[in-house]
Amino acid sequence: MMTEALRLLEQMLQKHPVVASLYGIDQLPHVTASPAPVVIVANIALPDLEPLLSALGQAEKFAFVNLDSCDGLAQDKAGVEYLRRIGTSGIVTTRSMLVQRANALGMVTMQKVFITDRSTLPRSINSVAQSKPHYVQLMPWPVVASMSESDLAGLSPFIAAGFVQSKADVVAALRAGARGVSTSDAELWRITRAAKTANDPSSQAP
């Protein structure tokens, strides 16, 4: 069943498929001023987290918190419950158990999956099948080109991340089936699915 939050997120990604990765409090003004409506928050100390999420909310951003990389935030069910209590829309984590807990609390979930070689794929696919996240953050992005359709189907819908360095990467990831692309490169945050430049027709996002 699609919740209102998930429906809103899908609408955002349909128009603005690039997710802004915010690393550290200093990037907040750049993120709030950007056209990217979806943000992944990481490397934020616990005392700064609630006011930062409030600022993102005032800027009408849909914020995920990377539970695995915020100093002082417990990487357990209590940490998930704290994020829900302060109004966090979604979480990102590598931990299946925490995805399941966040799902039970009605949050939008994204499970981070690192593909280092083909031997890790079955374990990753099984983990996602068990935890049932709404999205998979698939890293690093270049590995997607080497994956079969069936492998990608087991890790979908996915957000491509890691080594996204250009508009061409964004376009290629979307054409490969990504629901979105996350990056800390502020120059890419403005890309929309209708984006096109006169001198680079391939930058048209699908």
Return d(Cα 113, Cα 93) in angstroms, integer: 9
- Average pLDDT of 97-114? 97
Is 18:189 a contact under the CB 8 Å cutoff?
Answer: yes
| 103 has pLDDT over 60 | yes
pLDDT in tens, 28-55: 999 999 999 999 999 999 999 999 999 9
Residue spans of the domains in the chain: they are 4-190
Radius of gyration of the chain (CA): 16
Tell me, which fold does domain 4-190 have in CATH?
A: TIM Barrel (3.20.20)
pLDDT in tens, 141-193: 999 988 999 999 999 999 999 999 999 999 999 999 999 999 999 999 999 99
- The predicted pLDDT at position 196 comes to 40
Is 137:113 a contact under the CB 8 Å cutoff?
Answer: yes
